[in-house]
């Protein structure tokens, strides 16, 4: 967690969806300093509410429940939904119906900013010898990536039509440290994740913007030049882990699609095969 005082740009109430997930649990503790009340939601049990917390166990496919969830909210950090390759039915409910419900609830409640956790898997069928930016056309690597691309389009529609601003964060690989050589390019530290979310919440104007969720890695497939207006500056790097990662994985099989495409193993797995 960043060792810094609370930002003067605080919110009355922030909503964090997907708060029981891996990154949701990280952000649960980190976002408290930026708001008076932190409302947490997930389909899973969130445990007891801490000081300044409001816990709501909810399925994002429940439109009426999401509408109520959004009441009194200043901004949303949307981490909820399916985060891995799954059969179509759960992805449809959580990532397609769920994202529509979220933006409709934001519109009806007057919420004007969303941080949307999209994914690098929206771009998964670009090769690892290519660099993409915010204007590169999506190339999803599976149903999960496809659902996130849909969510990005929903966010853009609600910006164009209703003025709800969204920072689309195409998260790379956010773990305590990179697990393999692919993650030397896609790694996002937890501290940089916090920096990115807070930048997205507090930037004066974002409209509909795409930023790639990565740290300041020497190897990178994502160019964030067109997202500089958000004010995100990564301070960590996967390079401190490079020697250990390369020792664990000294060779790469270039016949393996996971070593060719940015989506890694997602390009060759999926229940729809």
pLDDT in tens, 217-227: 999 999 999 99
- 126: CB partners within 8 A, 6+ apart: 132, 136, 139, 221, 261, 262
Over 70: is that where the pLDDT of 214 sits? yes
pLDDT digits (tens, 9 = 90+) for 128-157: 999 999 999 999 999 999 999 999 999 999
Residues recognised as catalytic? 144
CATH topology of domain 11-268: Rossmann fold (3.40.50)
> Quick check: helix, strand or coil at residue 167?
strand
Structure tokens given for 94 = 């959580």
**C-alpha–C-alpha distance, residues 169 and 200, integer Å:** 9
Report how far apart, in Å, the C-alpha atoms of 64 and of each of 27, 98, 104, 108 are: 26, 11, 10, 12
Whether 148 and 119 have beta carbons less than 8 Å apart is answered as yes
Lowest mean pLDDT among 8-12, 112-116, 251-255: 8-12
The residue-averaged pLDDT of 164-190 equals 97
Domain ranges of the chain: 11-268
The secondary structure of residue 1, as a DSSP letter, is -
């Amino acid at each position: 967690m960043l060792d810094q005082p609370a930002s003067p740009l605080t919110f009355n109430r922030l909503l964090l969806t997907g708060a029981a997930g891996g990154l949701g649990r990280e952000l649960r503790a980190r976002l408290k300093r930026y708001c008076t009340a932190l409302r947490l939601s997930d389909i899973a049990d969130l445990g007891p509410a801490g000081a300044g917390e409001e816990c709501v166990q909810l399925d994002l496919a429940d439109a009426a429940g999401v509408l109520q969830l959004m009441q009194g909210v200043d901004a949303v950090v949307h981490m909820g939904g399916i985060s891995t390759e799954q059969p179509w039915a759960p992805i449809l409910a959580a990532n397609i119906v769920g994202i529509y419900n979220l933006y409709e609830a934001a519109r009806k409640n007057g919420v004007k900013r969303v941080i949307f956790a999209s994914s690098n898997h929206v771009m998964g069928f670009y090769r690892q010898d290519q660099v993409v930016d915010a204007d590169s056309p999506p190339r999803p690597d599976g149903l999960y990536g496809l659902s996130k691309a849909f969510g990005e389009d929903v966010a853009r529609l609600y910006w164009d039509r209703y003025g709800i601003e969204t920072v689309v964060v195409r998260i790379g690989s956010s773990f305590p440290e990179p697990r393999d050589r692919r993650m030397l390019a896609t790694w996002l530290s937890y501290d940089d994740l916090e920096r990115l979310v807070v930048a997205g919440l507090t930037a004066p104007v974002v409209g509909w913007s795409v930023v790639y969720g990565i740290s300041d890695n020497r190897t990178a497939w994502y160019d964030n030049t067109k997202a500089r207006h958000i004010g995100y500056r990564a301070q960590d790097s996967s390079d401190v882990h490079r020697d250990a990662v390369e020792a664990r994985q000294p060779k790469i099989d270039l016949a393996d699609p996971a070593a060719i495409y940015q989506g890694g193993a997602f390009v060759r797995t999926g229940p729809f095969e």
